[in-house]
A and B are shown apart, each in its own frame.
Chain A
C-alpha cells in the first residue's frame, strides 16, 4: 500500500538528512540537510493525517506550522552564515568561534 511506501520514503529522507548534517563541513550544506529532515517529518504528518484522520486534518495543520518554522529558520540561518563569512572568509563549521575571543 501507499502508506508503508510513504513511511519508507520518510525514513529514507530522514536518514540521509542526519548523515549529511553530521558529516558536512560546510555550514550551507548543513542547512540544506536540515531542510531534508524537516521535510521527512512533514511527510510523516501528512501521511498519518490522511490515513487515520481523514476529516479533521490536524496533521495538515501541524505540518503548516512546521513549514512556518522552517521558513523562519531558513531566513535566520543563512543570515548568520553570511555574517560569519564576512568576518572569517570561511564557511567551515569548526571555525565558527567568534564569541570565544
Chain B
C-alpha cells in the first residue's frame, strides 16, 4: 500500500520500479489469501517475472543525466488532479461501504451450479477455458449445426463428466 505511493512520488525512477515490484508481490500474496492460487502464480510469473524486469531494464537503459535536470515542478494542475483523485477515492469508499453486500449474495447463491469438490481450482479454470471457447471454435470450424454440437460433447473425456453430472 505504501509502495504504490512510492511508485508515484519517488524522484528516482529506479526506486519507483522497485516499489512497483513490492506492490506486485503484495498483491500476489493477497491473491493467495483470496483462494486464487492459479492467479497468484500467474501474477508472480508474469508481472514480477516479466513485466517488472522489463520496466527495470527500460529505466536502467534510459538512465542518463537528463533525469537530474527534471526537477519536480508542483504546478497548479498537480493540485487540481490531486483533489480530483481524492474525490474519486472518497466517492468509491462511500459507494463500497453503503452497498449491502449480504443481500446480493443471497440472490445469487441458489443460482450457482454445484460441482464436484474433487476438481481443484486449476482444473476448473482449464475446463472453463476449453469448454467455453475451444468447443465453440471447433463447431464453427467444422461447420456443423446443433446436432453435431450435441454429438461432439460426449466424445470429449472432460466434458462428458460435466454433461453426465448435469443431465
The interface of chain A, by Cβ under 8 A from chain B, is 2-4, 6-9, 11-20, 22-26, 28-29, 31-33, 35-36, 39, 42-43, 46-47, 49-58, 60-61, 63-64, 67-68, 70-71, 74-75, 78, 81-82, 85, 89-92
Q: Evaluate whether A50 and B125 lie within 8 angstroms (CB atoms) in the complex, with A26-B13, A43-B27, A74-B51 already known.
A: no
Of residues 36 through 51 on chain B, the ones whose CB sits less than 8 Å from some CB of chain A are 36, 38-39, 42-43, 46-47, 50-51
Nearest chain A CB to B70 CB, angstrom units: 7
Q: Evaluate whether A3 and B101 lie within 8 angstroms (CB atoms) in the complex, with A60-B125, A85-B62 already known.
A: yes
Cβ contact within 8 Å between A43 and B30: yes
B164 within 8 A of A: no
State A50–B163 Cα separation when bound (angstroms): 24
Cβ contact within 8 Å between B4 and A12: yes
B151 within 8 A of A: no
Chain B contacts of A85 at CB under 8 A?
Answer: 62
Chain B contacts of A4 at CB under 8 A?
Answer: 96-97, 101
Cβ contact within 8 Å between A39 and B27: yes
State A61–B128 Cα separation when bound (angstroms): 8
Majority-rule SS of B interface residues: helix
Most buried by A among B54, B62, B82: B62
Cβ contact within 8 Å between B50 and A71: yes
The interface of chain B, by Cβ under 8 A from chain A, is 1, 4-5, 7-8, 13, 16-17, 20, 23-24, 27, 30-31, 33-36, 38-39, 42-43, 46-47, 50-51, 54-55, 57-59, 61-62, 66, 70, 77-78, 81-82, 85-86, 88-89, 92-93, 96-97, 101, 104-105, 108, 112-115, 121, 124-125, 128-129
